Amino acid sequence: MQESKKLNFVFFGTPDVSSETLEILKEHGYMPSLIITSPDRPVGRHFTMTPSRAKVWADENNIPVLQPEKITDEVMEKLAAENAGLFIVVAYGKILPQKLIDLPNLGTLNIHYSLLPRWRGATPVEAAILAGDLETGVSIQKMVFKLDAGPIVAEERIPIEADDTTPSLRAKLIAIGGRLLAEYAIPAFERGEQILVEQDETNMTHCGKTKKEDGLIDPMNDDPEILWRKYRAYQPWPGIHFFQNGKRVKITKARFENAKFIIERVVREGEKESQWFG
């Protein structure tokens, strides 16, 4: 890890993507003075109270943590007391009020995993695969109080490979986003040399949250290319499934060959994973 740099910033984030980005920032010498993350949540059949990945990272690195359920006046007072020059938001999971976005003197930056204004919303990686996009990328935006609508500070494009899944593509984008933030966006704001490019609203597309029923397919009648896209996009959740003889069948392994969607392994409801024979 490089020697810690002096910029005082607060980091907002919750899941793995947040902790992975924090680790990249750490490698570049940027350590937050405070991390804001979601409260511990019950997980698993025993409802064990479990901290977010961002909180785990904070504890491992001796960084103070706040876990507010809501952004209250008390939270705002604590944030103001930090005198942070910058806020950084990566998958925090809550809507931030305008007064919070405007609190630091350099503003608030957000990493979004698409080429904004394409695929504003919660599932940009899945949406790009589902749409058959040939490329995607990372946009770092200066946040405004409108979903993913802030001016672009930095952007990098990458191709979507024919066998990319949501996990494989997201891993590439997380690495790019952390590097862009640490090597370009933050230094540009520190020097006062940032260039802000407004988004073209006429090219905006939106993607909502994924639901379990989105994974329902008809393997006999759906277009094979669409089946392949859904198989790749909906990993690891919700996966894709269909019903046979009244029982749910989840596809666990498939391939796309000679323009055909070929099922290899499945899990039938109430059974173990097995080879698919049709």
What is the separation of C-alpha 75 from the centre of its chain, rounded to a whole number of angstroms?
Answer: 24
Residues of the chain with CATH 3.40.50.170: 9-206
Contact assessment for residue 29 and residue 4, using Cβ atoms and an 8 Å cutoff: yes
CATH class name, domain 212-275? alpha beta
pLDDT of residue 169: 98
Pick 184 or 2 by higher pLDDT: 184
pLDDT digits (tens, 9 = 90+) for 82-113: 999 999 999 998 889 999 999 999 999 999 99
- Quick: pLDDT tens for 110-148: 999 999 999 999 999 999 999 999 999 999 999 999 999
The string of DSSP codes covering 56-108 is HHHHHTT--EE--SS--HHHHHHHHHHT-SEEEEES--SPPPHHHHTSSTT-E
Burial 91-115 (b: 16+ CB within 10 A, else e): bbeeebeeebbebbebbbbbbbbbb
Burial 144-167 (b: 16+ CB within 10 A, else e): beeebbbebbbbeeeebeeebbbe
- 9-206 CATH fold: Rossmann fold (3.40.50)
The pLDDT of residue 2 is above 80: no
H helices, E strands: number in the chain: 8, 15
**How many other CB atoms sit within 10 Å of the CB of residue 36?**
28
Q: Would you state the pLDDT for residue 93? A: 87
Does 1 score more than 60 pLDDT? no
User: Tokens 């949406």 — which residue?
Assistant: 127
Compute the average pLDDT of residues 23-51. Answer: 93
Domain ranges in the chain with CATH number 3.10.25.10: 212-275
CB 52 within 8 A of CB 37: yes
